[in-house]
């Protein structure tokens, strides 16, 4: 017997869960009013800003989305640090970051660069909040990868934002480096090759994303020239063909969450969810990437960042609403399950507007894939799936489905505890909740200063639409 993937069905008047994991997510979509009020009170009292990633625990996200404090923002990692700076400019006296440690480090770096070094930044755990990708970039193999890049003339290192400030600093000391996110990595790489046609681009540390990028770039050769130029005006089939041998990626790093979207899950999605829209983060293995890319080519799917996935779902729901016909849309969620809170918020508003305007009934089903190895069958005819670590359909907040154990170190209780301690007693130190401090120096620069350089290069790309002259000169002149 094939057990369906758990799913959540969203309607204008509510939602229903199918499967234990989906029920666990749904339990917090309508949060406790007292908890919402307490969080709002503390944020106003402390005049604190709060930035969080999409992958937070559902209980925490439910309360965050219901809070009316103006300085609360949930997004992907690209936007978190920018919004923190905006909050401080608007008067926030401190920033609390809900995410893994590289996110709080990025916030700290951008605040320092913006002249707000006196504004404290807090995490909500005293222990390190790790990330398998960030740890992979600190391994000796990544150092060897960077040294190979440094020996190659005209090299640019494109480093995924999911890395520590120490890694960014060490990389920048060896080879010109710019950070990227899953939202802007394609544009970053294509722009680099457009401005420096004979460059070598070294991407890392995410192996799956690097492999998927190479496959994506190779597939661009199949596009008509006009569509390719619409993607990037400086590129044609010849330029794409020329860049492929000079695009390199690290082959020993991955995200433990996206790793579960392997061949078995991809095969089930193809066979059992052929009628569904397929979404996939760029970090998923190649099998799931190819399923989603094929769907994307016929506008039945998307491959990209968390923001890209959210936008795609919203667009499809809006299109169904405008069609004025009853419909049931089905989306396979190929990323961390924490996305569901933001998805539900976005979809429910569209469905409520449709219902209030006398529109037809539209339902949206979000499907959570489950790794096959997490399923625990039972010989008991009445209890076909045993509970426990692989509880219910083989998926719980402890594993099986795509949930990040590091992100789940951020809890509502921990957040409230930190907020209560801010400014309460000057003798009570919150130093253990601050982002890691880097006092070491590399050459004439501090590690914190040097680690911020690749982030600022990314900001310049976003502002100018091209690599800064400083970065281009560095790529051309270093190791020439």
* Cα–Cα dist 236/220, whole Å: 9
Taking only the tens place, the pLDDT of each residue in 14-34 is 889 988 778 877 888 888 999
CA distance 371 to 115: 46
Rounded CA-CA distance 99/107 in Å is: 11
Question: The tokens of 283 are what?
Answer: 């970090």
pLDDT given at position 376 = 40
Q: What integer pLDDT is reported at residue 398 of this predicted model? A: 39
Residue in the structure block whose two tokens are 């309607």: 11
Average pLDDT over residues 111-133: 87
- The pLDDT assigned to 476 comes to 95
* Eight-class DSSP state of 182: T
Distance CA 125, CA 144 (A): 32
Tell me which of 277 and 58 has the higher pLDDT: 277
What pLDDT score does 36 carry? 94
Range from 212-216, 238-242, 312-316 carrying the lowest mean pLDDT: 212-216
* Residue among 141, 246, 241, 162 nearest 209 (CA): 162
The string of DSSP letters for 321-388 reads HHTTS-EEEEEEEES-GGGHHHHHHHHHHHHHHHHHTT---EEEEEE--B-GGG--B-S-SS-SB--S
Q: Rounded to whole angstroms, how far apart are CA atoms 208 and 292?
A: 14
Q: What is the pLDDT averaged over residues 137-150?
A: 92
Q: Look at 377 and 90; give whichever has higher pLDDT.
A: 90
Backbone φ and ψ for 328, nearest 5 degrees, come out as -130, 110
More confident residue, 259 or 75: 75
pLDDT greater at residue 469 or residue 181: 469
157-216 per-position pLDDT tens digit: 999 988 888 899 999 999 999 999 888 999 999 999 999 999 999 999 988 889 889 999
What phi-psi label fits residue 47: left (phi over 0), alpha (psi between -120 and 50 degrees) or beta?
Answer: left
pLDDT band at 318 (very low <50, low <70, confident <90, very high): very high
Contact between 454 and 470 (Cβ < 8 Å): no
Residue 409 pLDDT class (50, 70, 90 cuts): confident
Buried b / exposed e across 205-236, counting CB within 10 Å, b at 16+? Answer: bbbbbbbbbbebbeebeebeeeebeeebeebb
184 versus 426: which is more confidently predicted? Answer: 184
Mean pLDDT taken over the chain: 86
**Residue 390 in this model has a pLDDT that exceeds 90:** no
Predicted confidence at residue 395, as pLDDT, reads: 46
Per-residue pLDDT reduced to its tens digit, 60-118: 888 998 999 999 999 887 789 899 999 999 999 999 999 888 889 889 988 988 899 99
C-alpha closest to that of 64 among 35, 102, 84 = 35
What is the pLDDT at residue 396? 41
For 377-394, what is the mean pLDDT?
Answer: 36
Q: Give the CA angle between residues 73, 122, 204 to the nearest 5°.
A: 75
Pick the range with the lowest mean pLDDT from 128-137, 308-317, 387-396.
387-396
Position 379 pLDDT exceeds 60: no
d(Cα 84, Cα 110) in Å, to the nearest integer?
9
pTM beyond 0.85: the answer is: no
Is 70 exceeded by the pLDDT of residue 393? no
Across the range 465-476, mean pLDDT stands at 96
C-alpha–C-alpha distance, residues 216 and 157, integer Å: 19
**What is d(CA 385, CA 141) in angstroms, rounded to the nearest whole number?**
41
User: Structure tokens of 138?
Assistant: 């600190």
Residue carrying structure tokens 């801010």: 422
The mean per-residue pLDDT over the stretch 48-61 comes to 87
What is the chain's alpha carbon radius of gyration, rounded to the nearest angstrom?
A: 23
């Amino acid at each position: 017997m094939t057990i369906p993937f758990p799913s959540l069905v969203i309607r204008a008047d509510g939602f229903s869960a199918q499967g234990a994991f989906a029920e666990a997510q749904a339990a917090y979509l309508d949060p406790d009013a007292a908890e919402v009020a307490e969080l709002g009170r503390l944020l106003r009292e402390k005049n604190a800003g709060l930035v969080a990633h999409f992958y937070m625990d559902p209980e925490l996200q439910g309360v965050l989305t219901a809070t009316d404090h103006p300085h609360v923002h949930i997004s992907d990692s690209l936007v978190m640090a920018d919004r923190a700076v905006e909050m401080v400019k608007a008067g926030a006296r401190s920033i609390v970051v809900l995410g893994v440690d590289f996110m709080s480090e990025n916030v700290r770096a951008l605040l320092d660069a913006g002249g707000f070094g006196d504004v404290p930044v807090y995490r909500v755990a005293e222990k390190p909040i790790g990330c398998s990708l960030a740890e992979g970039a600190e391994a000796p193999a990544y150092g060897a990868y960077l040294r190979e890049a440094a020996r190659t003339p005209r090299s640019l290192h494109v480093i995924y934002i999911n890395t520590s400030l120490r890694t960014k600093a060490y990389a920048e000391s060896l080879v010109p480096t710019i950070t990227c996110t899953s939202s802007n990595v394609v544009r970053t790489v294509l722009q680099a090759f457009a401005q420096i046609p004979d460059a070598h681009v070294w991407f890392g540390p995410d192996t799956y994303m690097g492999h998927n990028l190479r496959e994506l770039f190779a597939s661009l050769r199949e596009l008509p020239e006009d569509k390719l130029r619409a993607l990037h005006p400086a590129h044609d089939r010849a330029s794409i063909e020329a860049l492929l041998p000079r695009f390199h990626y690290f082959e020993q790093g991955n995200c433990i969450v996206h790793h579960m979207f392997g061949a078995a899950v991809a095969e089930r999605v193809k066979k059992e969810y052929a009628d569904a829209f397929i979404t996939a983060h760029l970090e998923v293995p190649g099998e799931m990437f190819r399923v989603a890319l094929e769907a994307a080519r016929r506008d039945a799917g998307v491959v990209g960042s968390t923001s890209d996935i959210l936008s795609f779902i919203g667009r499809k729901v809006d299109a169904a609403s405008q069609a004025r016909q009853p419909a049931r849309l089905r989306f396979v969620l190929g990323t961390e399950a924490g996305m569901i809170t933001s998805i539900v918020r976005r979809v429910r508003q569209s469905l409520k507007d449709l219902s209030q305007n006398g529109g037809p009934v539209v339902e949206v089903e979000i499907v959570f894939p489950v790794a096959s190895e997490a399923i625990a069958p039972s010989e008991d005819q009445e209890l076909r799936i045993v509970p426990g670590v692989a509880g219910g359909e083989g998926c719980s907040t402890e594993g099986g489905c795509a949930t990040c154990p590091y992100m789940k170190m951020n809890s509502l209780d921990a957040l409230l505890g930190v907020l209560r301690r801010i400014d309460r007693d000057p003798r009570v130190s919150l130093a253990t909740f601050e982002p890691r401090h880097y006092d070491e120096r590399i050459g004439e620069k501090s590690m914190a200063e040097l680690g911020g350089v690749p982030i600022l290069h990314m900001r310049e790309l976003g502002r100018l639409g091209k690599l800064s002259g400083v970065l281009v000169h560095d790529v051309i002149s270093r190791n020439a």
